[in-house]
């Protein structure tokens, strides 16, 4: 048995030595990161992401058996986490392998980033040796810098650090994928990543999202929001986010041969569209205050205001359906006067107000010249935040002829009830007479029987 083992080892070594330098254990096109004593620090210890390292020897039979599954796991996580290997049979690498106490092959270890940069937590991997088991173990350990948003946390995320770029994934899934976590790691210092479940309908409606998954990117400041429409693949998504806000790290995911066809360039901002005009009380009632109308955002001013125009451009750039209708009401129009008087807005213009067909309105108290202030207020209106007033009846839409129809209906009901009352009254009177006659007849019968009984008693006496 010992001689057979020696023969196998010798044969493998001879094959390795005669196949040349290109016949490495893992080929040059392999998704596995090739390690040595020089790049171990940079690729693993300082990477900031999860990694698995195989400590192997080329002549090891178990290493040969593991090779297909290990390469498959590396392919499935390519660009998201590192699946790496180091040849401990090479003299130059023996010191590195010795530092991790390697005594047998293959030995698999997980490297998980810690709070101490360059000093990850090292775990022995004793799980399954299938591609899925290996990939799942690494994916679970990718640092999760993704913020899950629900309820009021969504509006807080939008308003916090407005100059910071933000990427929001709207999804039906509750867990965070390895792909999304890995992108958050790549852009940790430049883009804030978040995730919103489809059940957060208010958040989805606010951002105009109706299909899942959808990725919305807010570059920050006054820059327009962008919807990612490329493939859900690492390289394409990385290139898209890098165009929005380049990562501070110069290290990029390894490109594939098809990466150029999936790259999505950053869109060129287009001029903000003109805000439509609304004039006259009748137009207000039919457009904004009629049943099922969308909430109207009304700008009362002599000329369009830059902040509102910019906010309007961002609103209409989002995928439909849109939450608001935005209109400019000229200061000289009778509608502006009616709104100022009935909503008690004051004479100072410009004024920005939201009105809803359910009979409420909300005033804007910020700087209408700043799109960020306007958008933040619109978010608050959408979420039902802030004080609101009641729209007076003088402004509310009235259906033509409603009063007359109601009056006629009431008269018909009253007349019908009176007729029914008369019929019931007659029937009651008839019934009373019948009962009265029956009672009188009964009394007479009883009286006669009593008299006859009295007479019989007298005769007996």
pLDDT value, residue 402: 46
Q: What CATH number should be reported for the domain whose range is 147-262?
A: 3.40.30.10
- Output the average pLDDT for the chain: 83
| Residue 260 predicted with pLDDT over 50 | no
- The top-level CATH class assigned to 2-140 is alpha beta
Q: Is the pLDDT of residue 8 over 60?
A: no
Report pLDDT digits (tens) over 446-460.
777 777 777 777 777
Q: So what's the pLDDT on residue 378?
A: 87
Least confident interval from 97-101, 184-188, 244-248, 293-297: 244-248
Confidence band (pLDDT; 50, 70, 90) for 409?
low
Q: What is the per-residue pLDDT for 461? A: 66
State which CATH number among 3.40.30.10, 2.102.10.10, 3.40.47.10, 3.30.70.120 fits the domain covering 281-390: 3.40.30.10
Residue 3 has pLDDT above 60, yes or no: no
- Least confident span in 8-22, 115-129, 403-417, 430-444: 8-22
Range of lowest pLDDT (90-94, 100-104, 199-203, 435-439): 435-439
- Residues 204-211 have a mean pLDDT of 90
Domain locations in the chain as residue ranges: 2-140, 147-262, 281-390, 408-450
Q: Which pLDDT score is estimated for 253? A: 60
Q: How confident is the model at residue 407 (pLDDT cuts 50, 70, 90)?
A: low
The arithmetic mean of pLDDT across residues 177-189, rounded, is 94
In the predicted model, is pLDDT for residue 149 greater than 80?
A: yes
- Percentage with pLDDT > 90 across the chain: 46
Is residue 259 very low, low, confident or very high in pLDDT (cuts 50, 70, 90)? Answer: very low
Tens digits of residue pLDDT in 304-313:
788 888 888 7
Overall pTM > 0.75: no
Percent of the chain with pLDDT over 70: 85
Predicted pLDDT of residue 257:
39
Average pLDDT, integer, range 126-150: 95
What pLDDT is recorded for position 291?
Answer: 84
Q: Is pLDDT of 19 > 70? A: no
pLDDT greater than 90 at residue 56: yes
How would you write the chain as a 3-class SS string? CHHHHHHHHHHHHHHHHHCCCCCCCCCCCCCCEEECCCCHHHHHHCCCCCEEEEEECCCCHHHHHHHHHHHHHHHHCCCCCEEEEEECCCHHHHHHHHHCCCCCCCEEEEEECCCCCCCCEEEECCCCCCHHHHHHHHHHCCCCCCEEECCHHHHHHHHCCCCCEEEEEEECCCCCCHHHHHHHHHCCCCEEEEEEECCCHHHHHHCCCCCCCEEEEECCCCCCCEEECCCCCHHHHHHHHHHHCCCCCCCCCCCCCCHHHHCCCCCCCCCCCCCCECCCHHHHHHHCCCCCCCEEEEEEECCCCHHHHHHHHHHHHCCCCCCEEEEEEECCCHHHHHHHHHHCCCCCCCEEEEECCCCEEEECCCCCCCHHHHHHHHHHHHCCCCCCEECCCCCCCCCCCHHHHHHHHHHHHHHHHHHHHHHHHHHHHHHHHHHHHHHHHHHHHHHHHHHHHHHHHHHHC
pLDDT score at 69: 96
Residue of 419 and 85 predicted with greater confidence: 85
The answer on pLDDT for 206 being more than 60 is yes
- 98 has pLDDT over 90: yes
Average pLDDT over residues 231-240: 91
Average pLDDT over residues 342-362: 90
Please give the pLDDT value at position 404. Answer: 56
């Amino acid at each position: 048995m010992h001689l057979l083992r020696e023969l196998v080892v010798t044969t493998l070594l001879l094959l390795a030595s005669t196949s040349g330098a290109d016949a490495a254990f893992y080929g040059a096109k392999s998704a596995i990161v090739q390690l040595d004593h020089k790049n171990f620090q940079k690729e693993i210890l300082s990477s900031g992401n999860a990694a698995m390292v195989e400590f192997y020897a080329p002549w090891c039979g178990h290493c040969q058996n593991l090779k297909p599954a290990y390469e498959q796991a590396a392919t499935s996580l390519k660009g998201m986490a590192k699946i790496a290997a180091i040849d401990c049979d090479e003299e130059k690498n023996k010191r590195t392998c010795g530092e991790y106490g390697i005594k047998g092959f293959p030995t698999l270890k997980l490297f998980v980033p810690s709070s101490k940069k360059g000093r990850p937590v090292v775990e022995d991997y004793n799980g399954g040796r299938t591609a899925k088991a290996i990939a799942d173990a690494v994916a679970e350990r990718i640092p999760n810098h993704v913020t899950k948003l629900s309820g009021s946390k969504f509006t807080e995320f939008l308003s916090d650090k407005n100059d910071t770029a933000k990427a929001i994934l709207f999804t039906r899934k509750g867990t965070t994928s390895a792909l999304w976590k890995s992108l958050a790691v790549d852009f940790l210092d430049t883009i804030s990543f978040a995730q919103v479940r489809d059940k957060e309908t208010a958040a989805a409606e606010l951002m105009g999202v109706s299909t899942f998954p959808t990725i919305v990117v807010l570059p920050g400041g006054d820059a327009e929001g962008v919807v990612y429409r490329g493939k859900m693949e690492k390289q394409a998504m990385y290139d898209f986010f890098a165009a929005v806000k380049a990562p501070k790290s110069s290290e990029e995911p390894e490109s594939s041969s098809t990466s150029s066809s999936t790259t999505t360039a950053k869109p060129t901002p287009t001029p903000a569209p003109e805000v439509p005009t609304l004039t006259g009380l009748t137009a207000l009632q039919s457009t904004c205050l009629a049943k099922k109308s969308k909430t109207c955002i009304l700008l009362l001013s002599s000329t369009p205001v830059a902040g509102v125009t910019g906010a309007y451009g961002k609103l209409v750039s989002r995928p439909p359906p849109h939450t608001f209708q935005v209109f400019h009401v000229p200061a000289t129009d009778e509608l502006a006067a009616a709104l100022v008087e009935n909503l008690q807005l004051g004479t100072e213009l410009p004024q920005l107000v939201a009105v809803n067909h359910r009979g409420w309105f909300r005033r804007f108290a910020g700087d209408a010249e700043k799109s960020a202030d306007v958008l933040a207020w619109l978010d608050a209106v959408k979420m039902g935040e802030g004080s609101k007033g009641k729209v007076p009846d003088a402004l509310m839409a009235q259906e033509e002829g409603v009063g007359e129809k109601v009056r006629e209906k009431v008269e018909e009901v009253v007349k019908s009830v009176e007729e029914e009352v008369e019929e019931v009254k007659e029937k009651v009177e008839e019934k009373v007479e019948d009962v009265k006659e029956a009672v009188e007849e009964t009394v007479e019968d009883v009286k006669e029987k009593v008299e006859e009984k009295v007479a019989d008693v007298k005769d007996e006496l």
